[in-house]
Structure 1
Amino acid sequence: MTASCASRFVRLILLIVALASLGGCAGMFGHDPLRVSVAGIEPLAGQGLEMRFNLKLRVQNPNESPVDFSGVSVELDLNGKQFATGVSDQTGTVPRFGETVIGVPLTVPAFAAVRQAFAFADSAQSGQLPYVLRGRLAGGITGGTRFIDQGTLSLPAGEVGGL
């Protein structure tokens, strides 16, 4: 994969995460859902043909009790196909009426990148790219809190045509 192609994938990932806002599942006992959003993404050194990124998730707790977590898992699907996954064993607490940022390394396998390059060309016809971002904060007495965001991204015609 050329540096130019990798750069385009980085820009696409940045576009996806900039537009993605994640909602948490409501907790037990009438708790409001955690608010999870993408705070940033940075490229990491890949191994072989895979691409790697550090995804930063901002988790906000609008409840009166703190939320403990002992790990996080994230999946990103594009065009109905799995694109990137990541896990982190980071532990911590989201304070009551507070927030924290969690770093999750994402991996994009070479095969997924090639598959999506062809899908991007097909999406250029409609200018739309459906995505689903899922994740789970592990821990607590309920086993964790799941979050999900899905939607359709409008693709800039110049970026897709250059892939």
Structure 2
Amino acid sequence: MLMLLLFLSGLSACATLGQHEQRVKVTVTSMMPLESTLMEQRYLIKLRIQNRSQKPLSIDGVSFDLELNGKDFASGVSNQQITATAYGEALLEVKVSSTIFGVIRQIQSLQELEGKPFQYQISGNLSTPGSFINLPFRESGEIDLSAGSKKQAPLNP
């Protein structure tokens, strides 16, 4: 009987994982430079957390990696607590770090782009209070530097 209960609870946990991926969308809304040293650059990134559920979503932590043009650029973590209302959204500000090597890779990418938009991909996890299950996210988009506009593009798995 105990084995049956463990099996059924495992199945329900797997089922809710798929629901969580549909529940949240995370996009980059802005990126501003902060301080810079020879080996490290710091940026302030604003993330828009969209809650696509009929229940409020409380978040007490985030960790993520940011790629620009298919190359690792920066990573960040935050323990800021926010709540996105049901079918609502919230903004989260996170300080991220990039190394000199990430910046060099982006300078090389600029030469290859020749007027094409920057591609970005952000992937990571959101943690919720009182839960041991993280909400994974993975989004991509493009930033057209020539027009100053940002477009969201679907991520092809």
* TM-score greater than 0.5 by the shorter chain: yes
Report what 1:87 is aligned to. Answer: 77
Percentage identity across aligned positions?
32
Indicate the SS of the match to 2:86: coil
Matched ranges for 1:59-98 at <5 A: 59-98=49-88
Gaps of 5+ in 1: 1-25, 157-163
TM-score by length of 2: 0.66
* Structure 1 residues 111 and 97, CA gap change in structure 2 (3 angstroms): same
Matched ranges for 1:96-115 at <5 A: 96-115=86-105
Report what 2:120 is aligned to. Answer: 131
Report what 1:18 is aligned to. Answer: none
Gaps of 5+ in 2: 1-14, 147-157
User: Which region of structure 1 is more displaced relative to structure 2, 140-149 or 48-57?
Assistant: 140-149
Indicate the SS of the match to 2:108: helix
Q: RMSD over aligned Cα, in angstroms?
A: 3.0
TM-score by length of 1: 0.64
The amino acid across from 1:137 in the alignment is L
The amino acid across from 1:38 in the alignment is V
Matches of 2:23 and 2:144, distance apart in 1: 28
The amino acid across from 1:139 in the alignment is T
Aligned length: 131
Deviation at 1:50, TM superposition (A): 2.2
Are 2:43 and 1:53 equivalent residues in the alignment?
A: yes
* Structure 1 residues 129 and 138, CA gap change in structure 2 (3 angstroms): same
* Structure 1 residues 150 and 39, CA gap change in structure 2 (3 angstroms): closer
Deviation at 1:29, TM superposition (A): 7.8
Matches of 2:18 and 2:112, distance apart in 1: 45
